[in-house]
Amino acid sequence: MAVYNYDVVVLGSGPAGEGAAMNAAKAGRKVAVVDDRREVGGNCTHLGTIPSKALRHSVRQIMQFNTNPMFRQIGEPRWFSFPDVLKSAERVIAKQVTSRTGYYARNRIDVFFGTGSFADEQTIEVVCPNGVVETLSAKQVIIATGSRPYRPADVDFNHPRVYDSDTILTLSHTPRRLIIYGAGVIGCEYASIFSGLGVLVDLIDNRDQLLSFLDSEISDALSYHLRTNNVLIRHNEEYERIEGLDNGVILHLKSGKKIKADALLWCNGRTGNTDKLGLENIGIGVNSRGQVQVNEYYRTEVDNIYAAGDVIGWPSLASAAADQGRSAAGSIVDNGSWRVVDDIPTGIYTIPEISSIGKNEHELTKAQVPYEVGKAFFKSMARAQISHEPVGMLKILFHRETLEVLGVHCFGYQASEIVHIGQAIMNQKGEANTLKYFVNTTFNYPTMAEAYRVAAFDGLNRLF
């Protein structure tokens, strides 16, 4: 049995694994990546971010066709099935795999497909699909195995009508009514997707507000637009049991309510993919959700082993995972690329989408920061009118004395793109972070970015 020697072995080829592998390889290290699929990309490419966002884009196009009067010259509103829409996502996945496979080849990174586990702190054993065991010796190892949907033991996920956010991509029909249990980011995104296809959705939330980490005004706007699109939101509810039927599912809630639907989608939390890593062989423990603890350098309790991405928990975003992986490798190669990844915009791909960065009003009020608000409503923006996207707003929170930008919150068309302009200004040092940038800068017209100028003038007009 051959033993392959490497400087760095990365477990997982999702955003964190890819970021780590590329940074280490570009620093001159000999790198190998291990993934338990036969293709690179991780859960992000195959089950999570890419397919769900591709689904969302297709559904949004369908909604535009069915609601824009101009398209009535082409034909009447059309109905599309979930499997039909899923085909577009599959095409995007294939393109992503091709692109990412090329990255590893160009950077001369060896990729092993199989299940990797620790034999000891510097030895990884990879069980390949054909049963052959490969042994990799490494000076440093980076764990980037991601996460999967949390599955409580009392829910029968083998029932053909019970899905999680991974298995929903195998759905072969379009339900008339769907229960989504869990109203976090994934639950809200899928509520938008299915309701956009005309499915009646019951969205079960165990809290009293959707996505309570958001600015409350943005959260309220999301709730309103979901409700107007046939999503029934039930707050402060918890499941007691899930009863599978031949033709559907009954959800029994602790409040005594019973809800029947054609299918149930479980979106209540995620678990780190650590159970097959053999962490017990090297003395690394995990928490109740299977997540590995790391310090600010992304190092675990074992000096030569690092971890990044969903497997370490917060914020469980593909964007952050890529930077965490790069930073973990930066800690190893010491090329100046390490940083604590905490400047993270929130991107939520509901319909309409949401993005934010910095503090919200509740946090600033609690901290007794004297702030003011500037708003721009999309219904008044020329680009939004041209695009038939009148829903949404940009909201800037700034210090009323120094004019420092403290938070940017956006709801509506291109929100996840718009937020980055505010992020760039907030990252400027000292007096360069100022609301005045937006009024002293000429924006292209008409654009959605111009909302910053409108919101800045609105905020300045509130000062006295």
Say if 127 falls within a structural domain.
Answer: yes
Residues 373 and 245 both lie in one domain: no
Residues 140 and 275 both lie in one domain: yes
Residues 358 and 450 both lie in one domain: yes
Say if 343 falls within a structural domain.
Answer: no
User: Cβ–Cβ contacts within 10 Å for residue 176, how many?
Assistant: 12
d(CA 428, CA 130): 53
- Domain residue limits at 385: 352-461
- Indicate the helix (H) or strand (E) that contains 456: helix 451-460
CATH number at residue 90: 3.50.50.60
How much is the mean pLDDT over the chain?
96
pLDDT per position as a tens digit, 342-398: 989 999 999 999 999 999 999 999 999 999 999 999 999 999 999 999 999 999 999
Residues 30 and 62 both lie in one domain: yes
Query: Between helices 49-67 and 82-106, what is the axis angle to 10°?
Result: 140
CA atoms lying within 13 Å on the CB side of residue 184: 14
pLDDT per position as a tens digit, 50-103: 999 999 999 999 998 888 888 878 887 777 889 999 988 899 999 999 999 999
Q: How many domains does the chain have?
A: 3
- Name the pairing type of β-strands 305-307 and 133-143: parallel
pTM above 0.85, yes or no: yes
CA atoms lying within 13 Å on the CB side of residue 227: 10
Residues 258 and 306 both lie in one domain: no
E-state strands within 115-228: 115-120, 123-127, 133-143, 147-149, 162-164, 177-181, 200-204
Establish whether the linkage from the previous residue to 370 is cis, with ω within 30° of 0: no
Please classify residue 135 by burial: count the beta carbons closer than 10 Å to its beta carbon, then call 0-12 exposed, 13-18 middle and 19+ buried: middle
Residues 137 and 276 both lie in one domain: yes
Residues 258 and 278 both lie in one domain: no
Binding residues for FAD: 35-44, 53, 116, 145-147, 310
- Three-state secondary structure call for residue 326: helix
Q: Are 192 and 56 in contact (CB under 8 A)?
A: yes
d(CA 117, CA 120): 9
CATH number at residue 422: 3.30.390.30
| Eight-class DSSP state of 223 | H
Binding residues for NAD(+): 182-189, 269
Binding residues: 35-44, 53, 116, 145-147, 182-189, 269, 310
